[in-house]
Amino acid sequence: MIEVEYEVQDIFQELDEEIRKLLTLTHEIRIDVILDNDPEDKIKRALSLIEHIRSNLLRVRK
């Protein structure tokens, strides 16, 4: 039981870090759009992070 709690805590810690990275990327993409720069690479990284966040949320759900 304690092992499961640690695993869940680790997942939430990872989720916290990923969500912070995603927020940062979102702001960077917004700035790129305002400055008329191409944010394509940042968008790809953001989509990858979103998929990883989704995967971790599904692990917690189980």
So what's the pLDDT on residue 32? 97
Tens digits of per-residue pLDDT, 7-36?
A: 888 999 999 999 999 999 999 999 999 999
C-alpha span between 18 and 21 (Å, rounded): 5
C-alpha span between 1 and 17 (Å, rounded): 25
C-alpha span between 3 and 37 (Å, rounded): 46
Q: What domain range includes position 7?
A: 2-61
Enter the pTM of the model.
0.81
Residue 24 maps to which CATH number? 1.10.287.660
Residues 6+ positions from 33 with CB-CB distance below 8 Å: 39
Alpha helices in the chain (DSSP H): 2-34, 40-61
So what's the pLDDT on residue 60? 84
First and final C-alpha spacing in the chain: 14
Number of folded domains that form the chain? 1
